[in-house]
Amino acid sequence: MGIFDKFRKIDTSDTQGVLGPDLAVLVSYTATGVQLSPTNFRQLDAMTKSIRTLTTVAKSLPSAAYLGHNNGPAVVSTPHDLTDAQRSILDSALRVDQAGEIAANYIYKGQLAVLGRDRKVGPLIQEMWDQEKKHLVVMDKLQVQHNVRPTVLSEVAKAAGFGLGVVTALMGKEAAMACTEAVETVIGEHYDDQLKELDSFQTSHPSVPLLKSVIREFRDDELEHLDIAVVNHSQRAPAHALLSSVVGGGCKIAIELCKRF
Residues that constitute the known binding site: 101, 132, 135, 184, 222, 225
11/15 Cα distance (integer angstroms): 6
Shortest CA distance to 20 belongs to which of 35, 37, 2?
2
Q: Are 23 and 40 in contact (CB under 8 A)?
A: yes
Known binding-site residue numbers for Fe cation: 101, 132, 135, 184, 222, 225
Distance CA 236, CA 238 (A): 6
- H/E stretch holding 17 reads helix 15-19
Cross-strand pairs, 35: 28
Residue 28, classed as helix, strand or coil, is strand
Q: What are phi and psi of 30, to 5 degrees?
A: -130, 180
Q: How far is CA 119 from CA 1, 16, 28, 112, 133, in A?
A: 10, 20, 31, 12, 21
Which residues are within 8 A (CB) of 44 and not within 5 positions of it... i.e. 6 or more apart? 23, 25, 36
Whether the CB-CB separation of 230 and 181 falls below 8 Å is answered with yes
- 123/166 Cα distance (integer angstroms): 16
Terminal CA-to-CA distance of the chain, rounded, Å? 43
Q: Do 49 and 117 form a contact (C-beta atoms < 8 A)?
A: no
